[in-house]
Amino acid sequence: MAITRDEVAHLARLSRLSLSDAELDHFSGQLDQIIAAVARVQEVAAQGIAPMTHAVPVLNVFRDDAVAPCLTAQQALSGAPAAEQDRFRVPRILAED
C-alpha cells in the first residue's frame, strides 16, 4: 500500500501544515517506509504469546510509605514571597461576584 503525494497533502491540510512540493514528495516516501515497517511487525506469528507491557519482568521498586515529620507552617512559609494568616499570599485571579 503506497501513500500518495495527494494523501500526504490531504493530511497536511487536515493538520493545518503548509508543506512545499519537495516536502510532500519527501514525506510520502517516509510515510510509505513507516507503513511498510508496521506491516512487517503485524506479520509476526504471535499465537500463544501472552500480551505484556515489558520485555523483562519488572518488580515493584517503590518503597513502603513511612510516616515522617512534616514542615511547620512557619518553615513552609519561610521562603514565600508573601504570606498572610499562615497561608501563601497569591494574586487574585477571579473577581468576587
For residue range 51-80, what is the model confidence (pLDDT) as tens digits? 888 888 888 878 888 999 999 999 999 999
Whole-model pTM: value is 0.43
Residues 8 and 31: beta-carbon distance below 8 Å? yes
What is the percent of the chain with per-residue pLDDT over 90, rounded to a whole number?
Answer: 52
Q: What is the mean pLDDT of the chain?
A: 88
Burial 69-83 (b: 16+ CB within 10 A, else e): eeeeeeeebeeeeee
pLDDT at 24 over 90: yes
pLDDT at 97 over 80: no
Q: What is the CA radius of gyration of the chain?
A: 28
pLDDT at 46 over 70: yes
- From 12, 36, 40, select the one nearest 24 (Cα to Cα): 12
Distance from C-alpha of 44 to C-alpha of 95, rounded to nearest angstrom: 60
**Reported confidence tier of residue 1, pLDDT bands at 50, 70, 90:** low
CATH code, residues 5-42: 1.10.20
